[in-house]
Structure 1
Amino acid sequence: MFERFTKEARGAVIGAQQEARALSSRTIGTEHLLLALLDGEGPAAEALRGQGLRAGPLRATVARRSGTGDLDADALRTLGIDLDAVRRAAEDSFGEGALDAPAGRFRKGHIPFTAESKKALELSLRHAVRLKHQRLGTGHILLGVLHDGGSEAARVLGAEGVDLASVRAEVTRLLEAEAA
Protein backbone atom coordinates (compact mmCIF):
# COMPACT_ATOMS: atom_id res chain seq x y z
CA MET A 1 0.00 0.00 0.00
CA PHE A 2 2.75 2.49 0.93
CA GLU A 3 4.34 2.24 -2.51
CA ARG A 4 1.39 4.30 -3.82
CA PHE A 5 1.99 7.11 -1.27
CA THR A 6 3.47 10.37 -2.49
CA LYS A 7 6.58 11.74 -0.80
CA GLU A 8 4.38 14.21 1.13
CA ALA A 9 2.02 11.43 2.26
CA ARG A 10 4.93 9.33 3.50
CA GLY A 11 6.21 12.41 5.29
CA ALA A 12 2.84 12.77 7.01
CA VAL A 13 2.97 9.18 8.27
CA ILE A 14 6.50 9.76 9.60
CA GLY A 15 5.38 13.11 11.02
CA ALA A 16 2.52 11.38 12.86
CA GLN A 17 5.05 9.18 14.62
CA GLN A 18 7.05 12.28 15.58
CA GLU A 19 3.90 13.98 16.86
CA ALA A 20 3.04 10.95 18.99
CA ARG A 21 6.57 10.91 20.42
CA ALA A 22 6.52 14.64 21.16
CA LEU A 23 3.22 14.23 23.01
CA SER A 24 4.51 11.17 24.91
CA SER A 25 1.81 8.99 23.38
CA ARG A 26 2.09 5.21 23.43
CA THR A 27 0.28 4.91 20.09
CA ILE A 28 -0.13 6.86 16.86
CA GLY A 29 -3.74 7.98 16.57
CA THR A 30 -5.72 9.88 13.97
CA GLU A 31 -5.06 13.05 15.97
CA HIS A 32 -1.32 12.60 15.33
CA LEU A 33 -1.98 12.09 11.62
CA LEU A 34 -4.07 15.27 11.68
CA LEU A 35 -1.25 17.26 13.30
CA ALA A 36 1.28 15.94 10.79
CA LEU A 37 -1.02 16.80 7.87
CA LEU A 38 -1.54 20.33 9.17
CA ASP A 39 2.19 20.79 9.66
CA GLY A 40 2.98 19.50 6.15
CA GLU A 41 2.38 20.55 2.57
CA GLY A 42 -0.27 19.81 -0.02
CA PRO A 43 -4.06 19.76 -0.23
CA ALA A 44 -4.58 18.54 3.35
CA ALA A 45 -2.53 21.35 4.90
CA GLU A 46 -4.16 23.89 2.62
CA ALA A 47 -7.69 22.74 3.49
CA LEU A 48 -6.93 22.68 7.23
CA ARG A 49 -5.18 26.05 7.24
CA GLY A 50 -8.11 27.43 5.26
CA GLN A 51 -10.20 26.68 8.35
CA GLY A 52 -7.89 28.92 10.38
CA LEU A 53 -6.11 26.01 12.06
CA ARG A 54 -2.48 26.35 13.15
CA ALA A 55 -0.18 23.57 14.35
CA GLY A 56 0.81 24.99 17.76
CA PRO A 57 -2.68 25.67 19.12
CA LEU A 58 -4.06 22.42 17.67
CA ARG A 59 -1.16 20.48 19.23
CA ALA A 60 -2.06 22.06 22.59
CA THR A 61 -5.69 20.96 22.12
CA VAL A 62 -4.60 17.40 21.35
CA ALA A 63 -2.32 17.39 24.41
CA ARG A 64 -5.16 18.61 26.64
CA ARG A 65 -7.59 16.03 25.25
CA SER A 66 -5.12 13.17 25.62
CA GLY A 67 -4.23 14.14 29.15
CA THR A 68 -0.58 14.94 28.43
CA GLY A 69 0.24 18.13 30.22
CA ASP A 70 -2.92 18.25 32.35
CA LEU A 71 -1.10 17.22 35.53
CA ASP A 72 1.63 19.82 34.96
CA ALA A 73 -0.94 22.55 34.29
CA ASP A 74 -2.90 21.63 37.42
CA ALA A 75 0.24 21.56 39.55
CA LEU A 76 1.35 24.95 38.24
CA ARG A 77 -2.14 26.39 38.75
CA THR A 78 -1.92 25.54 42.48
CA LEU A 79 1.18 27.76 42.56
CA GLY A 80 -0.65 30.60 40.84
CA ILE A 81 0.93 30.02 37.41
CA ASP A 82 -1.32 30.00 34.34
CA LEU A 83 0.34 27.64 31.86
CA ASP A 84 -1.80 28.94 28.97
CA ALA A 85 -0.62 32.50 29.68
CA VAL A 86 2.99 31.30 29.79
CA ARG A 87 2.53 29.47 26.47
CA ARG A 88 0.98 32.57 24.83
CA ALA A 89 3.81 34.79 26.08
CA ALA A 90 6.46 32.34 24.86
CA GLU A 91 4.82 32.04 21.45
CA ASP A 92 4.47 35.84 21.20
CA SER A 93 8.19 36.17 21.87
CA PHE A 94 9.64 33.08 20.17
CA GLY A 95 7.05 31.89 17.65
CA GLU A 96 4.30 29.30 17.41
CA GLY A 97 5.08 26.02 19.14
CA ALA A 98 8.04 27.44 21.09
CA LEU A 99 7.28 25.26 24.13
CA ASP A 100 6.57 22.07 22.22
CA ALA A 101 8.93 19.21 23.05
CA PRO A 102 11.34 18.20 20.30
CA ALA A 103 10.36 15.03 18.48
CA GLY A 104 11.81 11.91 20.01
CA ARG A 105 12.52 13.45 23.40
CA PHE A 106 10.32 11.12 25.40
CA ARG A 107 10.09 7.82 23.53
CA LYS A 108 12.42 5.92 21.32
CA GLY A 109 11.68 2.95 19.13
CA HIS A 110 8.55 1.83 17.36
CA ILE A 111 5.21 3.37 18.27
CA PRO A 112 2.27 1.33 16.95
CA PHE A 113 -0.68 2.77 15.08
CA THR A 114 -4.08 2.51 16.72
CA ALA A 115 -6.73 0.42 14.98
CA GLU A 116 -8.52 3.69 14.20
CA SER A 117 -5.49 5.23 12.49
CA LYS A 118 -4.80 2.02 10.53
CA LYS A 119 -8.40 2.10 9.33
CA ALA A 120 -7.99 5.78 8.36
CA LEU A 121 -4.96 4.90 6.22
CA GLU A 122 -6.90 2.06 4.57
CA LEU A 123 -9.77 4.45 3.90
CA SER A 124 -7.36 6.95 2.36
CA LEU A 125 -6.53 4.34 -0.27
CA ARG A 126 -10.25 3.85 -0.92
CA HIS A 127 -10.68 7.59 -1.39
CA ALA A 128 -7.80 7.66 -3.89
CA VAL A 129 -9.44 4.81 -5.83
CA ARG A 130 -12.85 6.51 -5.64
CA LEU A 131 -11.35 9.68 -7.12
CA LYS A 132 -9.50 7.58 -9.75
CA HIS A 133 -6.08 8.79 -8.57
CA GLN A 134 -3.06 6.57 -9.08
CA ARG A 135 -1.07 8.03 -6.18
CA LEU A 136 -2.18 8.53 -2.61
CA GLY A 137 -1.45 12.01 -1.25
CA THR A 138 -1.99 14.03 1.89
CA GLY A 139 -5.51 14.97 0.84
CA HIS A 140 -6.51 11.32 0.60
CA ILE A 141 -5.09 10.71 4.08
CA LEU A 142 -7.14 13.62 5.43
CA LEU A 143 -10.27 12.17 3.81
CA GLY A 144 -9.48 8.83 5.45
CA VAL A 145 -8.89 10.45 8.83
CA LEU A 146 -12.17 12.37 8.63
CA HIS A 147 -14.17 9.59 6.97
CA ASP A 148 -15.60 8.54 10.30
CA GLY A 149 -16.92 11.58 12.13
CA GLY A 150 -16.29 9.72 15.37
CA SER A 151 -12.49 9.50 15.04
CA GLU A 152 -10.37 11.32 17.59
CA ALA A 153 -9.15 13.67 14.83
CA ALA A 154 -12.75 14.50 13.91
CA ARG A 155 -13.58 15.13 17.58
CA VAL A 156 -10.54 17.42 17.93
CA LEU A 157 -11.65 19.43 14.90
CA GLY A 158 -15.21 19.52 16.20
CA ALA A 159 -13.94 20.89 19.51
CA GLU A 160 -12.22 23.63 17.49
CA GLY A 161 -15.52 24.50 15.79
CA VAL A 162 -14.47 23.14 12.38
CA ASP A 163 -17.20 21.92 10.03
CA LEU A 164 -16.03 18.49 8.84
CA ALA A 165 -18.21 18.50 5.74
CA SER A 166 -16.64 21.73 4.51
CA VAL A 167 -13.11 20.37 5.12
CA ARG A 168 -13.97 17.19 3.19
CA ALA A 169 -15.47 19.22 0.33
CA GLU A 170 -12.48 21.58 0.17
CA VAL A 171 -9.85 18.85 0.22
CA THR A 172 -11.76 16.94 -2.48
CA ARG A 173 -11.89 20.10 -4.59
CA LEU A 174 -8.14 20.63 -4.13
CA LEU A 175 -7.38 17.01 -5.02
CA GLU A 176 -9.48 17.19 -8.17
CA ALA A 177 -7.83 20.49 -9.19
CA GLU A 178 -4.39 18.98 -8.56
CA ALA A 179 -5.22 15.94 -10.72
CA ALA A 180 -6.54 18.03 -13.63
Structure 2
Amino acid sequence: MFHAFTPEARRVMVRAALLALDCGRNTLDEDMLLLALAESWPVEGFTVTASAVRAEIGGAPGDHELLATLGIDLDEVRRRIPVRRDDPAAWRLRRSRVRPLRVTLTGPAGVLPLTGGARKVVEVAANWRGAGPRVTEKDLLRGLLADGSNVSVRILRRLGVDLDGLAAHLGFLRVSA
Protein backbone atom coordinates (compact mmCIF):
# COMPACT_ATOMS: atom_id res chain seq x y z
CA MET A 1 0.00 0.00 0.00
CA PHE A 2 2.83 2.41 0.91
CA HIS A 3 4.57 1.75 -2.42
CA ALA A 4 1.98 3.99 -4.10
CA PHE A 5 3.02 7.00 -1.97
CA THR A 6 5.60 9.61 -2.97
CA PRO A 7 8.52 9.97 -0.54
CA GLU A 8 7.01 13.24 0.71
CA ALA A 9 3.61 11.65 1.36
CA ARG A 10 5.32 8.77 3.19
CA ARG A 11 7.16 11.27 5.37
CA VAL A 12 3.83 12.95 6.23
CA MET A 13 2.29 9.59 7.22
CA VAL A 14 5.33 8.66 9.34
CA ARG A 15 5.43 12.11 10.96
CA ALA A 16 1.72 11.82 11.79
CA ALA A 17 2.38 8.43 13.40
CA LEU A 18 5.26 9.81 15.45
CA LEU A 19 3.16 12.78 16.56
CA ALA A 20 0.39 10.41 17.64
CA LEU A 21 2.83 8.21 19.56
CA ASP A 22 4.44 11.25 21.19
CA CYS A 23 0.97 12.33 22.37
CA GLY A 24 0.43 8.91 23.93
CA ARG A 25 -2.16 7.79 21.41
CA ASN A 26 -2.55 4.19 20.33
CA THR A 27 -4.23 5.01 16.98
CA LEU A 28 -3.54 7.36 14.11
CA ASP A 29 -6.36 9.85 13.53
CA GLU A 30 -6.91 12.50 10.89
CA ASP A 31 -6.02 15.37 13.23
CA MET A 32 -2.45 14.08 13.39
CA LEU A 33 -2.41 13.82 9.59
CA LEU A 34 -3.48 17.46 9.41
CA LEU A 35 -0.75 18.48 11.87
CA ALA A 36 1.89 16.53 9.92
CA LEU A 37 0.74 18.19 6.68
CA ALA A 38 0.83 21.63 8.30
CA GLU A 39 4.38 20.95 9.54
CA SER A 40 5.69 19.47 6.35
CA TRP A 41 4.90 21.78 3.53
CA PRO A 42 3.58 25.17 2.64
CA VAL A 43 0.99 24.78 -0.08
CA GLU A 44 -0.33 27.77 -1.95
CA GLY A 45 -3.82 28.30 -0.62
CA PHE A 46 -3.16 26.29 2.57
CA THR A 47 -2.28 28.95 5.10
CA VAL A 48 -2.66 26.95 8.30
CA THR A 49 0.39 26.82 10.54
CA ALA A 50 1.46 23.81 12.57
CA SER A 51 1.32 25.83 15.79
CA ALA A 52 -2.30 26.84 15.09
CA VAL A 53 -3.29 23.21 14.43
CA ARG A 54 -1.39 22.04 17.52
CA ALA A 55 -3.23 24.62 19.64
CA GLU A 56 -6.59 23.39 18.31
CA ILE A 57 -5.74 19.74 18.95
CA GLY A 58 -4.62 20.42 22.52
CA GLY A 59 -4.91 17.35 24.69
CA ALA A 60 -2.65 15.73 27.21
CA PRO A 61 1.05 16.53 27.35
CA GLY A 62 3.23 14.38 25.15
CA ASP A 63 6.21 12.24 26.01
CA HIS A 64 8.58 15.20 25.68
CA GLU A 65 6.87 17.18 28.41
CA LEU A 66 6.35 14.27 30.77
CA LEU A 67 9.92 13.01 30.52
CA ALA A 68 11.31 16.54 30.78
CA THR A 69 9.74 16.83 34.23
CA LEU A 70 11.97 13.89 35.19
CA GLY A 71 15.03 15.50 33.61
CA ILE A 72 15.09 13.18 30.60
CA ASP A 73 15.69 14.61 27.13
CA LEU A 74 13.64 12.40 24.80
CA ASP A 75 15.35 13.77 21.67
CA GLU A 76 18.75 12.79 23.08
CA VAL A 77 17.49 9.29 23.91
CA ARG A 78 16.18 8.92 20.34
CA ARG A 79 19.48 10.13 18.86
CA ARG A 80 21.28 7.31 20.67
CA ILE A 81 18.99 4.63 19.26
CA PRO A 82 20.66 3.10 16.19
CA VAL A 83 17.47 2.79 14.10
CA ARG A 84 16.02 6.05 12.84
CA ARG A 85 12.39 5.92 13.78
CA ASP A 86 11.47 8.64 11.28
CA ASP A 87 12.92 6.84 8.24
CA PRO A 88 9.96 6.25 5.89
CA ALA A 89 11.70 3.22 4.37
CA ALA A 90 11.41 1.46 7.75
CA TRP A 91 7.62 1.88 7.88
CA ARG A 92 4.84 -0.17 6.28
CA LEU A 93 1.20 0.67 5.67
CA ARG A 94 -0.83 -2.54 5.51
CA ARG A 95 -4.41 -3.66 5.28
CA SER A 96 -5.31 -6.73 7.32
CA ARG A 97 -6.23 -9.74 5.21
CA VAL A 98 -8.53 -11.01 7.94
CA ARG A 99 -10.11 -7.66 8.79
CA PRO A 100 -10.04 -5.59 5.56
CA LEU A 101 -11.22 -2.41 7.28
CA ARG A 102 -8.19 -2.50 9.59
CA VAL A 103 -5.20 -0.58 8.22
CA THR A 104 -2.04 -0.25 10.31
CA LEU A 105 1.10 1.83 10.01
CA THR A 106 4.01 -0.20 11.39
CA GLY A 107 7.56 0.98 11.97
CA PRO A 108 10.47 1.13 14.41
CA ALA A 109 8.52 3.35 16.82
CA GLY A 110 5.46 1.12 17.03
CA VAL A 111 2.29 -0.13 15.43
CA LEU A 112 -0.59 2.27 14.94
CA PRO A 113 -3.97 1.24 13.59
CA LEU A 114 -5.58 3.99 11.56
CA THR A 115 -8.95 5.15 12.84
CA GLY A 116 -11.88 4.96 10.44
CA GLY A 117 -11.41 8.63 9.59
CA ALA A 118 -7.69 8.31 8.89
CA ARG A 119 -8.27 5.16 6.83
CA LYS A 120 -10.85 7.07 4.79
CA VAL A 121 -8.33 9.88 4.19
CA VAL A 122 -5.77 7.38 2.89
CA GLU A 123 -8.32 5.59 0.71
CA VAL A 124 -9.63 8.83 -0.82
CA ALA A 125 -6.04 9.96 -1.45
CA ALA A 126 -5.15 6.62 -3.03
CA ASN A 127 -8.25 6.64 -5.24
CA TRP A 128 -7.83 10.28 -6.25
CA ARG A 129 -4.52 9.77 -8.01
CA GLY A 130 -6.01 10.99 -11.29
CA ALA A 131 -3.17 13.49 -11.63
CA GLY A 132 -0.41 10.91 -11.33
CA PRO A 133 0.55 7.36 -10.47
CA ARG A 134 1.45 8.05 -6.83
CA VAL A 135 -0.24 9.45 -3.73
CA THR A 136 1.07 12.94 -2.96
CA GLU A 137 0.77 15.33 -0.05
CA LYS A 138 -1.95 17.20 -1.95
CA ASP A 139 -3.86 13.93 -2.30
CA LEU A 140 -3.69 13.47 1.48
CA LEU A 141 -5.04 17.00 1.93
CA ARG A 142 -7.82 16.19 -0.55
CA GLY A 143 -8.58 13.10 1.53
CA LEU A 144 -8.83 15.23 4.67
CA LEU A 145 -11.23 17.65 2.99
CA ALA A 146 -13.39 14.98 1.33
CA ASP A 147 -15.35 14.20 4.50
CA GLY A 148 -16.95 17.41 5.69
CA SER A 149 -17.51 16.10 9.21
CA ASN A 150 -14.11 14.79 10.27
CA VAL A 151 -11.96 16.26 13.04
CA SER A 152 -9.55 17.95 10.62
CA VAL A 153 -12.32 19.78 8.80
CA ARG A 154 -13.71 21.03 12.12
CA ILE A 155 -10.23 22.26 13.09
CA LEU A 156 -9.78 24.01 9.74
CA ARG A 157 -13.21 25.66 10.10
CA ARG A 158 -12.30 26.94 13.59
CA LEU A 159 -9.08 28.35 12.11
CA GLY A 160 -11.10 30.26 9.51
CA VAL A 161 -9.99 28.32 6.42
CA ASP A 162 -12.17 28.68 3.32
CA LEU A 163 -12.65 24.95 2.75
CA ASP A 164 -14.49 25.26 -0.55
CA GLY A 165 -11.85 27.66 -1.86
CA LEU A 166 -9.05 25.32 -0.76
CA ALA A 167 -10.80 22.34 -2.35
CA ALA A 168 -11.25 24.27 -5.60
CA HIS A 169 -7.57 25.24 -5.50
CA LEU A 170 -6.68 21.56 -5.13
CA GLY A 171 -8.84 20.75 -8.13
CA PHE A 172 -11.85 18.96 -6.71
CA LEU A 173 -15.33 19.73 -5.49
CA ARG A 174 -15.86 19.21 -1.79
CA VAL A 175 -19.10 17.87 -0.43
CA SER A 176 -20.03 20.43 2.22
CA ALA A 177 -21.39 19.10 5.49
When the two structures are superposed, what TM-score results if normalisation uses the length of structure 2? 0.65
* Partner residue, 1:62: 57
SS class of match (2:110): coil
Q: Which whole-Å CA distance do the structure 1 matches of 2:155 and 2:22 have between them?
A: 18
Query: C-alpha separation between the residues in 2 aligned to 1:111 and 1:4?
Result: 19
Which structure is higher in RCO with an 8 Å CA cutoff and minimum separation 6?
1
Letter in 1 for 2:6: T
Unaligned runs of 5+ in 2: 62-73, 79-108, 173-177
Matches within 5 A, 1:1-180: 1-41=1-41, 45-47=42-44, 50-63=45-58, 67-68=59-60, 109-128=110-129, 131-172=130-171
Counterpart residue number, 1:77: none
Compute the displacement of 1:132 (Å). 4.0
CA–CA distance in structure 1, aligned partners of residues 26 and 121 of structure 2? 18
Contiguous gaps of at least 5 residues in structure 1 = 70-100, 174-180
Distance 1:159 1:54 in 2: 13
| Corresponding letter in the other structure for 2:4 | R
Contact 1:30 1:120 in 2 (8 A): yes
Secondary structure, aligned partner of 2:112: coil
Q: Is this contact kept in 2: 1:139–1:172, CA < 8 A?
A: no
Structure 2 letter corresponding to 1:32: M
**Distance in 2 of aligned mates of 1:172 and 1:139:** 10
Matched-pair identity in %:
30
Structure showing the higher helix proportion among its residues: 1
Which structure has more strand as a fraction of its residues?
A: 2
